[in-house]
């Protein structure tokens, strides 16, 4: 659990990121990153795979981490804060986790992904993952 002060800071950064629109490629010269995500499964358990790549040819990035935000009434995530290792240029780093859909109504939502680098108050990269409907809830 993160403290209230940190949650407030991330909440404000979240709102700011939404106002700037979500984009999966960083335009920041100091943190050139690319992100992709894949959702596997038919529900209610989904496997979420997130790949982060440092697109620089020469400069590694340290102190990067991922924050995941979603509707907690619909999804339970294995983790919402992921510390990334040193991001070596042109290598792809993969994070896998499980996400459980708790809705029995077939309702879907998205998971917002924010990549931060320590020392910066705003995310250097944002993306939105649209979650599929849970087949088990629709069929059952």
pLDDT digits (tens, 9 = 90+) for 72-115: 999 999 999 999 999 999 999 999 999 999 988 878 899 999 99
Rounded to an integer, what distance in angstroms lies between the CA atom of residue 99 and that of residue 44? 8
Phi, psi at 10, each rounded to 5°: -65, -35
The pTM of this model reads 0.75
3-state SS of 82-132?
Answer: EECCCECECCEEEEEEEEEECCCCCCCCEEEEEEEECCCCCCCEEEEEECC
pLDDT tens figures, 15-31: 544 444 344 666 565 67
* CA quadruple 104, 109, 115, 121: dihedral sign: negative
**12 DSSP 8-state letter:** H
């Amino acid at each position: 659990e993160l403290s209230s002060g940190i949650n407030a800071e991330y909440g404000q950064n979240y709102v700011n990121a939404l106002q700037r629109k979500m984009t999966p490629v960083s335009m920041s010269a100091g943190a050139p990153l690319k992100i992709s995500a894949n959702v596997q499964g038919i529900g209610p358990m989904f496997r979420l795979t997130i790949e982060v790549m440092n697109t620089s040819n020469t400069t590694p990035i340290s102190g990067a981490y991922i924050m995941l935000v979603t509707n907690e009434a619909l999804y339970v995530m294995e983790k919402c804060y992921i510390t990334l290792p040193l991001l070596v240029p042109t290598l792809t780093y993969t994070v896998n986790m499980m996400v459980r859909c708790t809705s029995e109504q077939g309702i879907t939502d998205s998971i917002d992904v924010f990549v931060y680098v320590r020392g910066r108050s705003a995310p250097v990269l944002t993306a939105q993952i649209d979650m599929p409907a849970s087949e088990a809830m629709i069929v059952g």
